[in-house]
């Protein structure tokens, strides 16, 4: 029993250290350091706000908050995928010369990016507080942890596929840059689900990110749990969890 | 005595990769893609069997490309046998490439913790030994600087110190005793030999035959993936020397 606890402790420590390394290294030799985690999403949000609020003039009430409620979670996904695509390739010596669970390299990337999401959470919190719908314990205490877990599982699965295939063909990481850009516009982030023509909506639901982002937006922007989307997202997470167990063996 | 490492009819083949094929070649060759695969192999280890008892130190010698490092990576578990059986009982500590887990931008201290955990300790255990590791590595004044500022020798010394302070059970060593300057070399050998004598099972790959003779009680001579000879160190080494300088 003691032995098991120790090995669990070790795994936890390893994951913690790898994540810590991922976070601190990103901002080594910068002046602003970890503040970039806050500035980065703010700047990207500003760009979209200028584009859609001032130039395109979307007729959506409180568009800034509407956008951010899905954009920040999207950034978590985006940065996790982009960084983890190289995590196996860049750590070849580690993989070849040391034994440890290799998927930790990927998990630590996603966790580190999650920490960056946490940095932008206060902004979302303030927005929710002053929006018409307010906040409730149900959405922030239960809904958000659940959707984080679901998105984590989904991101992990996608990252596993990408990083493993990237070890065979480096073309993958370039391909991903294109696909992810497409995925961004194919997911209701800058626009609401309702602006998609009715007949295409079920097609959009094939994109797992559609339901995940919709749940986020429902929680933050409308302060309610959109059960239908949540269940779809949960189903996707379960499929990915199964696949991950297989891929872990490949690693 | 109990067997710690048991290897039976171990075969390791590598597919021959001549050139990574570009996309257009794949498309052109698509119709014979499946048949062309897996045809050419390089046999790195050709059905070898041996075992190592607890507390034994097995030396592996042979020319470049004999399969020594392949065997070590199989023993470590970073690659898998094509055929055959491999049983290992205990925690494996690799000393294959010193500083494999180091990150240049982390400080010496941070790297100690990260590597200690990678090599099988918990964070708490590493912290408890941190001073001992720093003392041994003799890098006291630079320990809070990023390791990219270290000289190659300092880097190696730190990595070696971490590795031997992690309570190894099975040590897998690949040609790394040439660490640092002469005085540190003496010191590292001085630290390693008692460790080996104290009952740590060791597999030791080296080209330095004197060292092998000094440390190992048994030696395996590999050539082109085959075991040429196995037995007491002096005999095997003299056989080997006889073969390469007839």
pLDDT tens sequence across B142-178:
999 998 898 888 888 888 888 888 888 888 888 766 6
Q: Is the pLDDT of residue A21 over 50?
A: yes
A96 Cα distance to chain centroid: 29
Helices (H) and strands (E) in chain B, counts: 9, 9
The interface predicted TM-score of the complex, written ipTM, equals 0.78
| Cβ contact A17–B117 (<8 Å) | yes
| Cβ contact B123–A16 (<8 Å) | yes
| Cβ pairs bridging A and B (under 8 Å) | 59
Q: Do residues B86 and B13 share a domain?
A: yes
CATH, residue B81: 3.40.50.300
Last residue of a domain, which of B167, B201, B218? B167
In a domain, B100, yes or no: no
Q: Do residues B17 and B114 share a domain?
A: no
Nearest to B97 among A14, A21, A93 (CB): A93
Nearest to A10 among B100, B103, B120 (CB): B120
Q: Do residues B87 and B178 share a domain?
A: yes
Mean pLDDT of the A170-179 span: 89
Task: Report the distance separating Cα B59 and Cα B82, nearest Å.
Answer: 23
Q: Do residues B182 and B133 share a domain?
A: no
Nearest to B73 among A94, A96, A171 (CB): A96
Quickly list DSSP for B199-214: T-EEEEE-S-HHHHHH
What integer pLDDT is reported at residue B179 of this predicted model?
61
| Contact yes or no for A84/A110 (Cβ under 8 A) | yes
Q: Taking CA atoms, what residue in A is nearest to B21?
A: A169
The phi, psi pair for B141, rounded to 5°, reads: -80, -20
A-chain residues near B102 (CB < 8 A): none
| Cβ contact B105–A97 (<8 Å) | no
Q: What is the pLDDT of residues A24-47, one digit of tens each?
A: 887 777 888 778 878 888 888 888
Q: Do residues B162 and B203 share a domain?
A: no
In chain A, domain spans? 2-250
Mean pLDDT of the B216-224 span: 88
Task: Report the distance separating Cα A87 and Cα A167, nearest Å.
Answer: 10
Per cent of chain A over pLDDT 70 is: 97
Q: Do residues B58 and B144 share a domain?
A: no
Q: Do residues B15 and B87 share a domain?
A: yes
Q: Do residues B66 and B145 share a domain?
A: no
Residue B169: how many other CB atoms lie within 10 Å: 17
Q: Do residues B29 and B147 share a domain?
A: no
Q: Do residues B32 and B134 share a domain?
A: no
B-chain residues near A100 (CB < 8 A): 118
Angle at B3 (CA atoms; ends B2, B9), nearest 5 degrees: 155
In a domain, B99, yes or no: no
CA distances in angstroms from A112 to A109, A195, B19, listed in the order given: 5, 34, 37
Q: What is the DSSP letter of A19?
A: H
Mean pLDDT of the A138-143 span: 86
A-chain residues near B101 (CB < 8 A): 94, 97-98
What integer pLDDT is reported at residue B81 of this predicted model?
85
Q: Count Cβ neighbours within 10 Å for each residue of A179-211 and write b for 16 or more, e otherwise.
A: ebeebeeebbbbbebeeeeeeeeeebeeebbbb
Read off the tokens for A201.
């909506």
| Strand, coil or helix: B220 | strand
> Does an H or E element contain B57, and which?
strand B57-61
Task: Report the distance separating Cα A182 and Cα A127, nearest Å.
Answer: 28
Number of domains in chain B: 2
Closest approach of chain B CAs to the CA of A17, in angstroms?
6
Q: Is the pLDDT of residue A167 over 60?
A: yes
Q: Do residues B39 and B78 share a domain?
A: yes
For all residues of chain B together, what is the average pLDDT? Answer: 82
Last residue of a domain, which of B127, B150, B167? B167
Last residue of a domain, which of B149, B167, B185? B167
Residue A10: how many other CB atoms lie within 10 Å: 19
B-chain residues near A18 (CB < 8 A): 114
Q: In 3D, which of A182, A197, A183, A231 has the Cα closest to residue A211? A: A231
Q: Which residue has the higher pLDDT, B224 or B34?
A: B224
Q: Is the pLDDT of residue A221 over 80?
A: yes
B-chain residues near A87 (CB < 8 A): none
In a domain, B66, yes or no: yes
Q: What is the pLDDT of residues B108-133, one digit of tens each?
A: 999 999 999 988 888 999 999 999 99
Structural domain span for residue B161: 106-167
What integer pLDDT is reported at residue B35 of this predicted model?
47
Q: Is the pLDDT of residue A235 over 50?
A: yes
Mean pLDDT of the A116-144 span: 85
Beta bridge partners of B15: B41
What integer pLDDT is reported at residue A19 of this predicted model?
92
Residues in A whose CB is inside 8 Å of some CB of B read: 6, 9-10, 13-14, 16-18, 21, 24-25, 28-29, 93-100, 171
Q: Is the pLDDT of residue B38 over 60?
A: no
Q: Is the pLDDT of residue A161 over 80?
A: yes
A-chain residues near B74 (CB < 8 A): none
Nearest to A97 among B96, B103, B124 (CB): B96
Q: Do residues B150 and B221 share a domain?
A: no
| Contact yes or no for A66/A218 (Cβ under 8 A) | no
In a domain, B59, yes or no: yes
């Amino acid at each position: 029993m003691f032995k098991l606890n120790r090995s669990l402790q070790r795994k936890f420590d390893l994951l913690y250290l790898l994540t810590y390394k991922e976070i601190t290294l990103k901002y080594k030799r910068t002046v602003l350091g970890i503040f970039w985690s806050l500035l980065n999403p703010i700047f990207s949000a500003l760009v979209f706000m200028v584009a859609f609020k001032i130039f395109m003039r979307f007729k959506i009430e409180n568009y800034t908050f509407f956008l951010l409620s899905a954009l920040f979670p999207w950034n978590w996904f985006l940065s996790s995928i982009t960084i983890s695509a190289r995590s196996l390739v860049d750590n070849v010596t580690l993989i070849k010369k040391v034994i440890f669970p290799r998927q930790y390299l990927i998990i630590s990337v996603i966790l580190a990016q999650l920490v960056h999401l946490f940095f932008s959470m206060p902004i979302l919190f303030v927005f929710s507080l002053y929006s018409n719908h307010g906040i409730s314990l149900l959405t922030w205490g239960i809904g958000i942890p659940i959707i984080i877990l679901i998105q984590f599982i989904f991101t992990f699965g996608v990252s596993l596929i990408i990083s493993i295939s990237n070890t065979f063909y480096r073309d993958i990481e370039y391909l991903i840059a294109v696909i992810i850009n497409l995925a961004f516009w194919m997911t209701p982030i800058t626009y609401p689900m309702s602006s998609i023509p009715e007949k295409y909506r079920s097609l959009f639901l094939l994109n797992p990110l559609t339901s995940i982002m919709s749940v986020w937006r429902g929680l933050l922007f409308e302060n309610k749990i959109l059960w239908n989307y949540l269940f779809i997202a949960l189903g996707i997470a379960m499929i990915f969890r199964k696949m991950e167990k297989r891929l872990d063996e490949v690693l | 005595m109990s067997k710690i490492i048991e290897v039976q009819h171990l075969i390791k083949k590598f597919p021959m990769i001549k050139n990574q094929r570009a996309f257009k070649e794949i498309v052109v060759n698509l119709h014979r893609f499946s048949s062309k695969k897996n045809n050419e192999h390089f046999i790195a280890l050709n059905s070898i069997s041996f075992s190592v008892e607890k507390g034994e130190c097995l030396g592996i010698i042979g020319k470049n490309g004999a399969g020594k490092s392949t065997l070590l990576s199989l023993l470590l578990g970073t690659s898998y046998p094509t055929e055959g059986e491999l049983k290992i009982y205990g925690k494996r500590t690799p000393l294959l490439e010193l500083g494999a887990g180091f990150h240049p931008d982390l400080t010496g201290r941070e790297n100690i913790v990260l590597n200690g955990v990678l090599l099988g300790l918990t964070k708490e255990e590493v912290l408890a030994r941190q001073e001992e590791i720093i003392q041994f590595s003799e890098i006291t004044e630079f320990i809070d600087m990023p390791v990219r500022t270290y000289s190659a020798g300092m880097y190696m010394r730190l990595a070696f110190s971490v590795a031997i302070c992690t309570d190894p059970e099975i040590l897998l060593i690949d040609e790394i005793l040439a660490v640092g300057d002469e005085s540190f070399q003496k010191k590292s050998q001085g630290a390693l030999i008692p460790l080996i004598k104290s009952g740590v099972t060791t597999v030791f790959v080296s080209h330095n035959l004197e060292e092998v003779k000094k440390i190992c009680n048994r030696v395996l001579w590999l050539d082109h993936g085959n075991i040429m000879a196995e037995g007491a160190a002096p005999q095997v080494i003299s056989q080997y020397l006889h073969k390469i300088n007839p």
